[in-house]
Structure 1
């Protein structure tokens, strides 16, 4: 490809990303904002105690959604600018998985079971915050596209690599869409909430950790996201 053609292609790609960003921002952020403002105004009217509690719950849910979207935008910006900070520390992967399971059960909708497989304690030197961010994003993504069934998280250590899988029994992903999902602001379901940054953030963090991420899927039969990151194993304790 000639230099001029490459420059034109890069400019067109940047313009496409900018347009997608503006479109998603204008729609996705306005939606929870409108809900928050609208239901706050309703609270000033003559409502029953039951309606008051329902409206407060809706305001709380939309506030959390708005905060999550802003957090993702800031996180993506820090990853792209090189300002994202990581700190390798010693921790037990199994303990992190247990804590994650406990904290996320309330975020999984009815009809879906979150199963995190537990293994013996494995102490590694890695950035736990980055690992937790990727896992949480993959679980929430699976929850979004799994009407019923299970989301199963499993992991193992092979030589100097930590391998993790997040598999679901959801709607699956068509072959032609599997590469798209890791692109910024790409949304296969335009009616789903969010800016389309969850999976791109996962990819960027895994890459920063020196690893790789991919997906296997079959429409109607679910998806399995897998990532591997290099680590320093300090020791393995059995049945601790």
Structure 2
């Protein structure tokens, strides 16, 4: 995979992804955006968008009612930005959370896909110099975040 990094406004990226997915999120789900100010990161915008799109697709697949939220924030006390997708879906057990980034892991063996999505996402994010953070409670929902260094320029 080829990566082309450049300075990127996180607010602009999240706004673009929100607009692009407004019509794709099922109408019975509340789709919202949460943003604070703006941050800049040095990244491959196209690859990062693929990762966030995968998170949004999974959120739609595993959320039957409630909401999906797309947002970003500056992680307090760090020089890191977190871009996240949060949902009120089925969530993941602790055991599933340990396996979810493994190749071929599927939470629902009858759902579409080969189970490669999150494994590939993790590889992309690592190549971008970041990490994926996961917070989930079974039956309550999940939050998948891409955590990347804030870009200071130069």
Q: Same fold per TM (> 0.5)?
A: yes
Q: What's 2:83 paired with?
A: 164
SS of equivalent to 2:36 = coil
Give how far 1:135 is off: 0.8
Matched, 1:91 2:8: yes
Matched, 1:201 2:120: yes
Matched, 1:152 2:69: yes
Question: Which residue of 112, 116, 128 maps to 2:45?
Answer: 128
- Unpaired runs of 5+ residues, structure 2, are none
Matches within 5 A, 1:1-240: 84-158=1-75, 159-234=78-153
> 2:41, 2:148 within 8 Å by CA — same for their partners in 1?
no
Q: More helix by proportion, 1 or 2?
A: 1
Task: Report the RMSD for the aligned CA atoms in angstroms.
Answer: 1.8
Q: Which has the higher contact order (CA 8 A, sep 6+)?
A: 2
Report the CA distance shift for 1:102/1:218 in structure 2 as closer, same or farther (over 3 A): same
How many Å separate the matches in 1 of 2:35 and 2:135?
Answer: 23
SS of equivalent to 1:170 = coil
Give how far 1:154 is off: 2.1
- Unpaired runs of 5+ residues, structure 1, are 1-83, 236-240
How many Å separate the matches in 2 of 1:192 and 1:234?
Answer: 43
Report the CA distance shift for 1:191/1:85 in structure 2 as closer, same or farther (over 3 A): same
Give how far 1:120 is off: 2.7
Give how far 1:112 is off: 1.0
Q: More strand by proportion, 1 or 2?
A: 2
How many Å separate the matches in 2 of 1:87 and 1:201?
Answer: 17
Give how far 1:231 is off: 4.0
Q: Over alpha carbons, which structure has the higher Rg?
A: 1
Report the CA distance shift for 1:226/1:110 in structure 2 as closer, same or farther (over 3 A): same
Q: TM-score, normalised by structure 2?
A: 0.89
Q: TM-score, normalised by structure 1?
A: 0.59
